[in-house]
Amino acid sequence: MLLGALAADRRGSVTAEFAITVPAVLLVLGLVVGSVQLAAQRVSLTALAGDVARLEARGDSALAAARLSSVTGSISITRNDDGRVLCVAATMGPDAGILAALSVTGRGCAAKSEAVGGGAQP
């Protein structure tokens, strides 16, 4: 009889469900916020790479260097120049947080100006 009364007692079940659900919800929320931050960082890096590619493709290396120096944090820039198109890739890792081990890359390309040495061949 005592065992049957204990089995029918539901006191504490809401507390147990709450204790299990809250950490799962917080984990999902943290991942969503981190993903939004990574997406925003990728948009910023793509804009930066596009700006640097356009500036360098038209011969404004000083302005491109100034644009790069305005970026806070550790950034890695790689360039790919095939003679007519200059592509710039900017790679950076998040500053902190659960997703700090990941790196984000943005890429931008621009046609080189004829004055810089690109342009169509006759």
Structure tokens at 112: 């080189």
Per domain, the residue ranges of the chain are 13-111
d(CA 112, CA 2): 86
Question: Is the separation of the CB atoms in 105 and 42 below 8 Å?
Answer: yes
Mean pLDDT by 10 residues, the chain (122 residues): 57 78 91 87 93 92 91 89 92 73 90 65 41
3-state DSSP: the chain helix, strand, coil percent, rounded to 5? Answer: 50, 20, 30
Which pLDDT value is given to residue 7? 57
